[in-house]
Amino acid sequence: MRVAVGLICCSIAAQSAFAQAPIRITGTGSGTGSIRLVADAFMRVHPELRVEVLPTIGSSGAIKALIAGKIEIALSNHEPDETEQAAARLSTIEYARTPFVIAVHKDVGVAALTSPQLAALYAPGAAFATGLRARPVLRLKDATDTEILRSISPAVAQAFDAASKSKGMLNAATDSTAADMMQSSPGVFGASTLAIIASEGRPLAALVLDGRVPSVDNLANGSYPYFKHLFAVVNDDSAAPVVQFVAFLRSADARAILRAHGNLPR
């Protein structure tokens, strides 16, 4: 009898530990704010489970953390590359897309730019129409943001490339760092997403570009062409709670939360 009671106690303890182990999530700053809201809704439906959305470490950093077993879900704006796929058996789900935007602090008082105006802002000593000095935030050359930014026009690509060779420029490794820089100074501008602005309540303006309004509806109907993919990357052998959370991302409740905060659910 004592042995049986002991086995039962061990089983209960093991189940309790399993139930309380958190689902750890991090990745691109464009995804974490919205996913935090989705996680809150998920935990209301599954109060026995815990989800921890950790500080952002970027897409590549999150995939590395997933492979190392430090998190359960990586949020990424790109799919794992061949090296990452070779290191672990991973599954990737595109759960949303978010408008890629040019952002600046609301206090600047600028609401729209044309492509030529945007290109001009990357020149040394450039200023907004309000007279405020413009300071661009640059991203790495191989970053998704850089690729999309350069696709806006040949003039923008040329201006960005010239700025990247200048000394003393502001550089950001992640979406969150770039948004922090824009938020801290009214003259700083750069690439961002509607999701990070809307989900985190940042005091940034997503600028109308060449007459195209960056909105979820316009992304859906094709009139706004610039966007970033948002993927949830997990291990193939993920535990049941992780599978439940990924499934919840497809639910009507999660899709409504995503759409209300700058995302077009997939």
Average pLDDT over every residue of 90-118: 97
pTM for the predicted model, two decimal places: 0.89
Contact 105, 182 (CB under 8 A): yes
- For position 1, what pLDDT does the model report? 41
Residue 15 has pLDDT above 90, yes or no: no
Average pLDDT over every residue of 178-206: 96
CATH of domain 2-97+227-265: 3.40.190.10
Average pLDDT over every residue of 64-69: 97
Distance (Å, whole) CA 56 – CA 126: 31
- For position 20, what pLDDT does the model report? 64
For helices 252-260 and 29-45, give the axis angle rounded to 10 degrees.
140
Average pLDDT over every residue of 209-235: 98
Cα dihedral 219, 93, 228, 75 sign: positive
Average pLDDT over every residue of 237-248: 96
Q: Would you kindly state where each structural domain of the chain is located, as residue ranges?
A: 2-97+227-265, 99-215
Average pLDDT over every residue of 82-96: 95
List residues bridging with 138 in a β-sheet: 171
- For position 17, what pLDDT does the model report? 45
Let me know if the fold of 2-97+227-265 is the same as that of 99-215.
yes
Q: Choose the weakest-confidence range: 12-26, 172-186, 217-231.
A: 12-26
99-215 is a CATH 3.30.1360.70 domain: no
Tens of pLDDT, residue by residue over 131-190, are 999 999 999 888 999 999 999 999 999 999 999 999 889 999 999 999 999 999 889 999
Write out the two tokens for 13. 């303890």
Write out the two tokens for 182. 């824009």
